[in-house]
Chain A
């Protein structure tokens, strides 16, 4: 046995503990407790029970719209975003010509600032100079004019488009799961006369359910916290058709309605945990895959 001073072990934890207490522990306690108070940051918080929550649920339809939008975006995440990312992974797994290039390029939108990406999309969807409308006009619809982000009918789809196909995290997660499947499984299946499709549906898909589940969780939580893409394009409008809970929280803070904002934040945290529990159940993620 070697000797060392145990004090060092604790000393090494201290900086992280300090960060944890300042930026996670105290804030979380503050969020949970002040959600029940009326507080503007200047006067001491005044206990008001469930008033903030009542206000959130009944005052205007912001929360309802936010929740409906979250639900729609969750469906888009589960049935388009994640399957698309997984599809790309399945294709890349076969190592077609240029697979490394595709994997590399797919990552680029993910490494640049979301704010820059949102601003770029503001121009792509711009009616006069934008790529999309000019492309449509080039196709022969020379009178086509739509302001995607400012049109009640299209704003939601336009916002969705800024993320729905950018599923590189899904691709990378699924890809590493696919590569971890023992080769013998595929060989045994082939010897038993299984077709390519059968191998995909019966072997690969069940075995990658962990990464699919993780992807769904990550993607839906990203929808709960989605801020820049909305704030820098539609600001939640037109009307409040693209509003979400993150923008709601931000509005609460800048209006110095801290109690209200923290009630919103509490709902946000509960939603996050809810998504985690439900998805884990649906994808049976806590069950080992190789049994």
Chain B
């Protein structure tokens, strides 16, 4: 009995140590960056563990004042929001058709769309790079919007189709009885009821687009067309030894994702699982 008690105690301690480790590796790096962004360059170099002596936003102010930071932020917002909304509309339309109707070629198309999940991330990079060059979209914001629209195809389709499948057909039938049109039944009845699926897929795509680096880096060349994650890479060179400003920039880039996550924690966690399970 005593051995049992001891064993349980040890298990408990080990469990909490694992959890503590998890928490530390998840937020210490970020906290360190945020805290350091309030310190002087000299303090960052000489006293890496010390807290800032005063809270001032000098570094943030100079980052915001910097040539392209605001335009980079604007690019990130514009590109992520537009591509997510358009993609959401496209995939909701398709998912609705797949969920509620039978048509020739339905199975084949659905399998083809789903199989895109198996293509590893950047394998199609060259054709996409050439396509953007060919259409004259290189180094434009439109290029990234167009590419990002394609990003969450399979996952979004699967999430949204499941959403529409769970909406009873009787509702649609009743609406048709009242002589509603096809579009009205979709837009006024099904779309609002698929809200959970829409926000799950939407958040997943938005976070993906907001954080995207590879295509953002490859498809832009001028400083004012960059998105934030890409700009960050150039800041590290530009600031070279001004760590305070660099850390402030890092904080500003990561903050929106964290805020969005805090606002929609359950939804984000769920979207990651539904995005993951199907992979």
Contacts and interface: CB of A to CB of B under 8 A. Distances in A.
A binds B: yes
Contacts, number: 263
Given A41-B133, A217-B279, A24 B218 contact: no
Given A165-B25, A253-B129, A265 B94 contact: no
A105 B23 contact: yes
How big is the A interface, by class? 35 or more
Given A5-B182, A24-B153, A272-B120, A169 B276 contact: yes
Contact of B26 (A87, A108, A271): A108
Contact of B236 (A119, A218, A227): A119
A134 interface: yes
The size class of the interface chain B forms with chain A is 35 or more
A109 B26 contact: yes
Interface stretch (A11-19, A60-68, A74-82, A184-192): A11-19
B33 interface: yes
B276 A106 contact: no
Contact of A272 (B22, B118, B269): B118
5 contacts: A8-B183, A88-B22, A113-B228, A131-B29, A131-B48
B48 A134 contact: yes
B123 interface: yes
B188 interface: no
B213 interface: yes
A41 B128 CA distance: 12
Contacts of B16: 96
Nearest to B97: A12
A147 interface: no
A287 to B, nearest CB: 17
B113 to A, nearest CB: 6
Interface stretch (A120-128, A151-159, A201-209): A120-128
Contacts of A176: 273
Contacts of A224: 120
Given A6-B103, A261-B126, A276-B118, A112 B97 contact: no
Nearest to A222: B121
Residues of A contacting B: mostly: helix
B176 A106 contact: no
Interface stretch (B53-61, B62-70, B191-199, B253-261): B253-261
B202 to A, nearest CB: 14
Contacts of B21: 165
Contacts of A23: 124, 128, 147, 150, 153
Contacts of A10: 97, 103
B123 A265 contact: yes
Contacts of B232: 113, 115-116, 119
A253 B125 contact: yes
Contacts of B207: 111
A246 B122 CA distance: 7
Given A10-B103, A16-B93, A128-B45, A110 B121 contact: no
A20 B250 contact: no
A165 B26 CA distance: 9
